[in-house]
Homo-oligomer: A and B are copies of this chain.
């Protein structure tokens, strides 16, 4: 069927080894022989068999990527970023979707290891950020890099965004616009939600800006909860003049609620989200947001993982924080009619 080294060897009357070395440009093969081998290989359409090579070399050049949801553009972009570094180096990416389920995640990781991937990049779906599965993983000598979510107390390779910095950046941006009654539509009780809230509070404190308790309203992570939360916020007196929303869907819901109430964005209320999901500039009012630099997270994780794979000794766990950046669009444009 498909051509093998053995075929090339017998065609040319040389040994298998000569072919193997010639194909890999091993130095101790005469130029003449190498040329002959390469020529015959091309004629036969020879393609090396990675499975056999993997077995012999104990190296598959495959990297597993475990993410909670491919549909979420954040993870899709992490995947793209990782691929952009891995593929040029000859690695293939094997993607597993854990569906935000910790057990599925564990199964997927086991399956990938059984396939002998050289390493793993994992955006863990462990709900409360359980560290124990990853301690065991490290004990098993598997190479892996966590992205986005780092279970507290775990010393492992990690690349992600600092959520407090996200909260600070967004809030700071609103302050710089001249807004002083800044509200927050906060997210769920997980690391990202809490972190962003902390960042928000810290800036208000630093800037000596009051934050009445009713100015922090809980939303989940969807646009419908954003809509409801914003309606609640619109009943607060005095009305906030700016809102930092937990993420972009929440912000989108908030924009709709504001417009429905007959108010202007950003004239009456400026709104900023987080995540820079790719529809952000398709909304009726294009949405300012904090970009988590997910492509860069993927790239960095890939680099880090390759270092781990190539290294003979286990590397000391390294945590890399990628700096997010503000993306200014219409929803926080500085264009109030009367700017006090």
Query: Taking beta carbons and an 8 Å cutoff, which residues of A are in contact with B?
Result: 1, 47-52, 54-55, 60, 62, 70-71, 73, 76-77, 79-80, 83, 92-97, 110-116, 141, 223, 249, 252-253, 255-256, 259, 277-279, 281-285
Contacts and interface: CB of A to CB of B under 8 A. Distances in A.
Contacts of A285: 284
A54 B141 CA distance: 23
Contact of A92 (B73, B94, B255): B94
A284 B93 CA distance: 38
Given A92-B96, A223-B282, A284-B284, 12 more contacts: A50-B114, A51-B55, A62-B115, A70-B76, A70-B80, A71-B76, A76-B76, A83-B97, A92-B112, A223-B281, A249-B282, A252-B282
B71 A278 contact: yes
A272 to B, nearest CB: 16
Copies, count? 2
**Chain B CB within 10 A, most for which of A1, A51, A96:** A51
14 contacts: A47-B110, A48-B114, A50-B115, A51-B55, A51-B60, A55-B55, A71-B76, A76-B76, A80-B97, A92-B94, A92-B111, A252-B282, A279-B282, A284-B284
**Chain B CB within 10 A, most for which of A50, A54, A62:** A50
A279 to B, nearest CB: 3
B60 A70 contact: no
Nearest to A92: B94
B95 A115 contact: no
Nearest to A222: B282
Contact of A283 (B77, B110, B249, B284): B284
A110 B48 CA distance: 11
A240 to B, nearest CB: 21
B92 A93 contact: no
Nearest to A61: B115
Contact of A71 (B1, B73, B114, B253): B73
Nearest to A50: B115
A256 B40 CA distance: 61
Contacts of A52: 55
A95 B94 CA distance: 6
